[in-house]
Amino acid sequence: MSQVEKLRELGQKERKRQEQFHSRVFCCISTACLSTGAGATREALEEAVDGLEQSDDQQIEVVPTGCLGLCSKGPLVRVETKDEPDVFYESVTPEVARQVVEVHASANGEKAKNGLQKHVLAPDIPFFSKQVKVVLTECGHINPEKLEDYLAHGGYTALTRVLDEMTPEQVCEVISQSGLRGRGGAGFPTGLKWTLTRQAVGDRKFVIANGDEGDPGAYMDRTVMEDEPHRVLEGLMIAAYAIGAQYGYFYVRGEYPIAIQRLQRAIRAARRRGILGKSVMGTDWRFDADVRIGAGAFVCGEETALIHSVEGKRGMPRMRPPYPSVSGLWQCPTSINNVETLASVPSIINKGADWFASIGTEKSKGTKVFALAGQLTNTGLIEVPMGITLREIVYEIGGGVPGDQDFKAAQTGGPSGGCIPAEYLDTPVDYESLQALGSIMGSGGLVIIDDTTSMPEFAKYFMDFCMDESCGKCVPCRVGTVQAWKLLDKITRGDGVPEDLDKLEGLCTTIKQSSLCGLGQSAPNPVLSTLRYFRHEYEELVSANSEAEAESVEA
Amino acid sequence: MTATEKTDDRSTANNGHPSGDERFKALDRTMKRFKYEKDALLEVLNAGQEAFGFLSEDLLIYISSHLGVPLSQIYGVATFYHLFTFEPLGDHNCIICAGTACHVKGSDKIITTLSEAFGVKPGETTPDGAFSLTIARCLGSCGLAPLMVLDGEINGNATPEVALERVNAALDIATGGTQQEKESA
The CATH number that applies at residue B105 is 3.40.30.10
pLDDT in tens, B73-98: 999 999 999 889 998 889 999 999 99
Same domain membership, residue B166 and residue B143: yes
Nearest residue of A to residue B153, measured between CA atoms: A35
Average pLDDT over residues A381-410: 94
Among B46, B77, B138, beta carbon nearest to A217:
B138
**Per-residue confidence band for A47, with pLDDT thresholds at 50, 70 and 90:** very high
pLDDT at A218: 87
Residues B47 and B124 placed together within one structural domain of the fold: no
CA of A258 vs chain B CAs: smallest distance (Å): 12
Q: What is the mean pLDDT of residues B162-179?
A: 75
Contact B159, B110 (CB under 8 A): yes
Given a cut of 80, is residue B173 above it in pLDDT?
no
- Per-residue model confidence (pLDDT) at position A241: 97
Residues A353 and A394 in one domain: no
What is the Cβ-side half-sphere exposure of residue A89, based on CA atoms within 13 angstroms?
30
Q: Residue A392 — left, alpha, or beta (φ > 0 → left; ψ -120 to 50 → alpha)?
A: alpha
Query: A474 to chain B nearest CA, in Å?
Result: 15
* One domain, residues A290 and A413: no
pLDDT at A482 over 90: yes
- Among A106, A123, A140, the domain boundary falls at A123
* A351 and A233 share one domain: yes
Residue B182 has a pLDDT of 40
Burial of A263 (0-12, 13-18, 19+ CB in 10 A): buried
Summarised one tens digit per residue, pLDDT across range A340-366 is: 999 999 999 999 999 999 999 999 999
The number of distinct structural domains making up chain B is: 2
Q: Do B100 and A445 touch (CB under 8 A)?
A: yes
Q: Which of A115, A135, A517, A36 is CA-nearest to residue B158?
A: A36
More confident residue, A546 or A196: A196
To the nearest 10°, report the CA torsion of A133, A137, A139, A140. 90
DSSP per residue, chain B: --HHHHHHHHHHHTT--TT--THHHHHHHHHHHTTT-GGGHHHHHHHHHHHHSS--HHHHHHHHHHHT--HHHHHHHHHHSTT--SSPPPSEEEEEE-SHHHHHTTHHHHHHHHHHHHT--TT-B-TTSSEEEEEES--S-GGG-S-EEETTEEE-S--HHHHHHHHHHHHHHHHHHHHHHHHH-
**Could you give the CA distance from residue A68 to residue A75 in angstroms, rounded to a whole number?**
10
Residues B106 and B138 in one domain: yes
One domain, residues B69 and B97: no
Q: Is B152 on the interface with A (CB under 8 A)?
A: no
Please return the burial class of A283, using the count of CB atoms within 10 Å of its CB with bins 0-12, 13-18 and 19+.
middle
Choose among B39, B45, B140: nearest Cβ to A311. Answer: B39
Helices (H), A294-383: 303-310, 339-351, 353-357
- In this complex, the residue of B37, B99, B105 whose CB is nearest that of residue A216 is B99
| Whether residue A108 is found in the same domain as residue A159 | no
Q: What does the alpha-carbon distance between residue B34 and residue A117 come to, in Å, rounded to a whole number?
A: 55
Residue A401 C-alpha from the chain's centroid:
23
Cα separation, A233 vs A235, in Å, equals: 5
Residues B12, B76, single domain; the answer is yes
CB of A520 less than 8 A from some CB of B: no
Could you give the CA distance from residue A525 to residue A512 in angstroms, rounded to a whole number?
A: 8
User: Which band of pLDDT confidence, cut at 50, 70 and 90, is reported for residue A160?
Assistant: very high
Domain total of chain A = 4
Predicted pLDDT of residue A118:
85
- CATH number of the domain bearing residue A309: 3.40.50.11540
Contacts of A34 in chain B (CB under 8 A): 154
Question: Residues near A444 by Cβ (< 8 Å), separated by ≥ 6?
Answer: A183, A218, A220, A340, A368, A369, A370, A371
- Residue A426 pLDDT grade (very low, low, confident, very high; cuts 50, 70, 90): very high
What integer is the mean pLDDT of B134-148? 85
> Which residues fall within 8 angstroms of residue A175, CB to CB, at 6 or more apart?
A190, A191, A194, A242, A345, A348, A353
Q: Phi and psi dihedrals of B153, rounded to 5?
A: -95, 125
Query: Is A136 inside any structural domain?
Result: no
Domain CATH number, residue A384: 3.10.20.600
pLDDT over 50 (residue B5): no
Does B173 reside within a domain? yes
Residue B10, pLDDT > 70, answer no
For A:307-366, CB contacts with B below 8 A are 309-316
B145/A218 touch (CB, cutoff 8 Å), yes or no: no
Q: Tell me: do A269 and A351 sit in the same domain.
A: yes
Of the candidates A121, A101, A5, A89, the residue with the CA atom closest to the CA atom of residue A54? A101
Segment B57-70 shows an average pLDDT of 95
> Do B105 and B175 fall into the same domain?
yes
Q: Does B135 touch chain A (CB under 8 A)?
A: no
Q: Is B134 an 8 Å CB contact of chain A?
A: no
**Alpha-carbon dihedral A347, A352, A354, A359, rounded to 10 degrees:** -10
Residue B85 lies in a domain: no
Domain that holds residue A533: 455-550
Helix H, strand E, coil C: the string for A150-184 is: HHHCCCCHHHHHHHHHCCHHHHHHHHHHHCCECCC
- Predicted pLDDT of residue A56: 62
Residues spanned by the domain of B96: 92-184
Q: What is the DSSP letter of A51?
A: T
Question: What residue type is A195 in one-letter code?
Answer: T
Considering the domain architecture, whether residues B102 and B69 belong to the same structural domain is answered as no
Q: In percent, how much of chain A has pLDDT > 70?
A: 96
- Average pLDDT for B148-175: 86
- Please give the pLDDT value at position A57: 61
Sign of the dihedral defined by the CA atoms of residues B90, B95, B98, B102, in that order: negative
In chain B, the percentage of residues whose pLDDT exceeds 70 is: 85
Indicate the pLDDT class of residue B175, thresholds 50, 70 and 90.
Answer: low
Question: How far is CA A132 from each of CA A135, A386, A432, rounded to the nearest angstrom?
Answer: 9, 10, 21
Confidence of residue B178 (pLDDT cuts 50, 70, 90): very low
Nearest to A262 by CA among A143, A368, A427, A126: A143
B176, pLDDT greater than 60: no
Please give the pLDDT value at position B71.
97
The mean pLDDT of chain A is 92
User: By the CB < 8 Å criterion, does B123 face chain A?
Assistant: no
A362 lies in some domain: no
Residues A172 and A297 in one domain: yes
Q: What pLDDT score was predicted for residue B120?
A: 93
Q: Do B104 and A34 touch (CB under 8 A)?
A: no
Q: Return contacts of A38-45, CB within 8 angstroms, 24+ apart.
A: A38/A74, A38/A75, A38/A76, A40/A93, A40/A94, A41/A75, A41/A77, A41/A92, A41/A93, A41/A94, A41/A97, A43/A94, A44/A94, A44/A95, A44/A97, A44/A98, A45/A77, A45/A97, A45/A98, A45/A100, A45/A101
Q: What residue of B is the nearest CA neighbor of A452?
A: B104
CA nearest A409 in B: which residue? B104
DSSP code, position A387: T
Answer whether A295 sits within 8 Å of B142, measured CB to CB. Answer: no
**Is the pLDDT confidence value at B12 over 50?**
no
pLDDT tens, residue by residue, A18-44 = 998 889 999 999 888 888 889 999 999
Query: In this complex, do B100 and A471 lie within 8 Å of one another by their Cβ atoms?
Result: no
Q: Which residues of B101-113 are buried (b: 16+ CB within 10 A; e: fewer)?
A: bbbbbebbebbeb
Whether B65 and chain A come into contact, CB under 8 Å, resolves to: no
Apex A329 CA angle, A223 and A183, nearest 5 = 35
Note the pLDDT of residue A383: 96
Burial class (CB in 10 A: 0-12, 13-18, 19+), A320: middle
Task: Using the predicted structure, report yes or no on whether residue A324 has a pLDDT greater than 90.
Answer: yes
Q: How far is CA A450 from CA A400, A533, B42, in A?
A: 10, 15, 41
